Amino acid sequence: MKRNDEEGLGGWIVVYVIGSIPLLTIYSMGLSGWFFDYPVGLMLAIFVLLAVPLLLVLRKSPKAPRWNIAALWIMAALMILRSISVILFPMSSDDAPPLRGDELPAVVQPLGVIVAVALGWAMVWTRYFRNSVRVRNTFC
């Protein structure tokens, strides 16, 4: 009896789901701090909302690949906008002055890493969802 290794929730799909959880945590923290002072309740609500496409993967929904690709690119765009907003419109609850020129590299570097990871994650997994035999066999 031949087992079909190219179907079901295994392989890289599991890596995607598990690897997405820490990123969704970072994204939800960043988005919850965009207009408010990082409230935990809002962060948890955003995390749950961002995790919906992952639930579609776990349920083997035929719409999971499209929803996950859309979510990947929406989050990459939001992380870019959030990073730009940190530089252009720094918010401080203690009325600190705007960023000085010598402080900018210390802020831009971690934001650049976040943006690069978001874009890289979106590119890699978009290609996977579009070209994978396992994805085609599992969700189509």
pTM of the model: 0.83
Total domains in the fold of the chain: 1
Query: Which of 59-68's residues contact partners 24+ apart within 8 Å by CB, and which partners?
Result: 60/9, 60/138, 60/139, 61/139, 62/139, 62/140, 64/139, 65/129, 65/130, 65/135, 65/139, 68/16, 68/125, 68/129
In terms of residue numbers, what domain contains 94? Answer: 12-139
Q: Could you report the per-residue pLDDT of 65-89, keeping only the tens digit for each?
A: 999 999 999 999 999 999 888 877 7
Considering the domain boundaries, does residue 1 fall inside one?
Answer: no
Considering the domain boundaries, does residue 23 fall inside one?
Answer: yes
Considering the domain boundaries, does residue 82 fall inside one?
Answer: yes
pLDDT, one tens digit for every residue, the chain (140 residues): 344 567 777 888 999 999 999 999 999 998 888 777 778 889 999 999 999 999 999 999 999 999 999 999 999 999 999 988 887 776 655 555 666 677 777 778 888 999 999 999 999 999 999 999 989 988 88
Considering the domain boundaries, does residue 34 fall inside one?
Answer: yes
